[in-house]
Chains A and B, each alone.
Chain A
Amino acid sequence: MNWFTQTLNSTLGKKYVMGITGLFLMLFLVVHCGINALVFFPDDGELFNRAAHFMATNFFIRMGEVVLFLGIIWHVIQSAIVTRTNAKARPQGYAKFANSSPWYSRSMGLLGTLILIFLVIHLAHFWVKSRITGLEEVNYGSEKMEDLYIKMVETFSNLWVVIVYVVAMISLSYHLMHGFQSAFQTFGINHKKYTPLIQMIGMIYSIVLPLLFAAMPIVIYLRGY
């Protein structure tokens, strides 16, 4: 093994990978949330569809999508490896144990698994349809583009789907609540001058962002056709 793979294979290196992929995914969520929030604009989804069309046709964003998938896969595989290593570090558990850490910090694997299951459902709902099987089209003046908005309206007309999305966003919220500030700690950023700020931004981020995401299916469901 050369120095690079050896470093990434150490317990600290594995955490660096979790941190860097995690931060990257958090950055993606901001972009994703920002664009999707255009569905709140009361124009029957035109602005949103135009934005989605741009994202679907821009070469650099398409390349970014590949990197995004790699990031997700790396984050998931690495977490599975870390979880296995950590489980082996305590073969015999305690008969009685009193926890002194937040439950969501200890449940990142469980929360992450819920998010992964959601991700598969979510990709099947939208990504597969817009990239592979195709969508209905809509005309805006002379421009013709895929009507992703109507797909959202259709999908979120089912109450169960809305519930699944909301539960997933609650999982995401707790996952981020630990993940955000934990990533900074992993990269050695812990300072009495900045850490309170990082924690505050992390808290706002992990509440506001999933809340916005969860509002989309709820609002569309309530708005109806």
Chain B
Amino acid sequence: MEINLKVWKQKDAVSDGKLIDYKVSHVSPDMSFLEMFDVLNEELIVNDQEPIAFDHDCREGICGMCSMVIDGKPHGPLEGVTTCQLHMRSFKDGDTITVEPWRARAFPVIKDLVVDRTAFDRIIAAGGYISVNTGNAQDANCLPINKDDADDAFMSASCIGCGACVAACKNASAMLFVSAKVSQLAKLPQGQPERYTRVANMVAQMDKEGFGACTNTGACSAECPKEISLTNIAQLNRDYMQAKFLENA
């Protein structure tokens, strides 16, 4: 296959960027989208040109590092799939594909397609955890958990924190990400002691980072590679209301 690319090139956070045209020949339909970028970058290096910077790590859809908006869709055209799991067979020979970084004030571009997602880390640090005193590990089944709750918590926990929800949202809102962690811990007994301070602190940090407000368009969930549901956002709305109006958080 031969693929034409329009890729966002930007030197650093303060410089202006623009779309640059590239042509990649000898693309195998079995390559992943990232492997196609590897091929292109090797060519660029051989020709003494600067390679394109992009984020990646596990390349098996679980780390949440890859972050490309491909033809206007975070992680590309497939549903429930990260960029690394997107293969070139999803495109046609001769296609022109536009590739841009996540765009949000809270995710400044570091270089080209790489954005700084530490805002997510700071939100998690604000309360997306449970405090456990050190000591021996508990017996596995000493805390009985309803199977439905365990399943729901697991669904929420499958968020990989890639930020596609922010990239897809017209308001660059981080609600789906924040709600996934809030819901996961709200469903489990271990999450109860800090439940309401957690939601209050995480929302405060989310607002401080400059993410937009949720307007319930549902784009986040539609583009989420882990298909995190909007019921998580409802849980966040509910818990925040309880935290602010009924609890001391």
Contact = CB atoms under 8 A, between A and B. Distances in A.
A186 B105 contact: no
B234 A86 contact: no
Contact of A11 (B206, B216, B223): B206
A140 interface: no
B65 interface: no
Contacts of A133: none
B213 interface: yes
A100 B219 contact: yes
Contacts of B210: 88-89
Contact of B72 (A14, A98, A185): A98
A88 B216 contact: no
B237 A100 contact: no
B236 to A, nearest CB: 8
A15 B213 contact: yes
Contacts of B241: 12, 16, 187-188
Contact of A105 (B175, B218, B236): B218
Interface stretch (B84-92, B127-135, B165-173, B189-197): B165-173
A142 interface: no
Given A82-B213, A96-B72, A178-B216, A10 B234 contact: no
Nearest to A88: B105
A188 B234 contact: yes
Interface residues of A, number: 41
A102 B212 contact: no
A101 interface: yes
A93 interface: yes
A100 B71 CA distance: 13
A192 B230 CA distance: 11
A108 B216 CA distance: 11
B231 interface: yes
B204 interface: yes
Contacts of B239: 188
Task: Give the most central of A82, A89, A99, A186: most B CB within 10 Å.
Answer: A89
Interface residues of B, number: 48
B219 A99 contact: yes
A98 B78 CA distance: 12
A182 B237 CA distance: 12
Interface string A194-206: 0000000000000
B215 A90 contact: no
A58 interface: no
Contact of B71 (A15, A88, A96): A96
A105 B171 CA distance: 12
B84 to A, nearest CB: 20
Contacts, number: 134
Interface in B190-243: 203-204, 206-207, 210-219, 222-223, 230-231, 233-241
Given A10-B204, A185-B233, A189-B234, A86 B104 contact: no
B214 A190 contact: no
A108 B213 CA distance: 14
A125 B207 CA distance: 42
Given A11-B211, A11-B213, A185 B69 contact: no
B168 A100 contact: yes
Given A94-B103, A96-B100, A100-B222, A182 B207 contact: no
Contacts of B72: 94, 96-99
A3 interface: yes
B235 A14 contact: no
Nearest to B244: A7
A122 to B, nearest CB: 26
14 contacts: A11-B213, A12-B237, A15-B213, A86-B213, A86-B215, A89-B171, A90-B104, A94-B72, A95-B6, A97-B69, A100-B219, A101-B222, A178-B217, A188-B238
Interface of B: 6, 8, 19, 69, 71-73, 98, 100, 103-106, 168, 170-173, 175, 203-204, 206-207, 210-219, 222-223, 230-231, 233-241, 244-245
Interface of A: 3, 7, 10-16, 82, 85-86, 88-102, 105-106, 108, 178, 181-182, 185-192
Closest 8 CB pairs of A and B: A188-B238, A190-B234, A89-B212, A98-B72, A86-B171, A101-B217, A11-B213, A86-B212
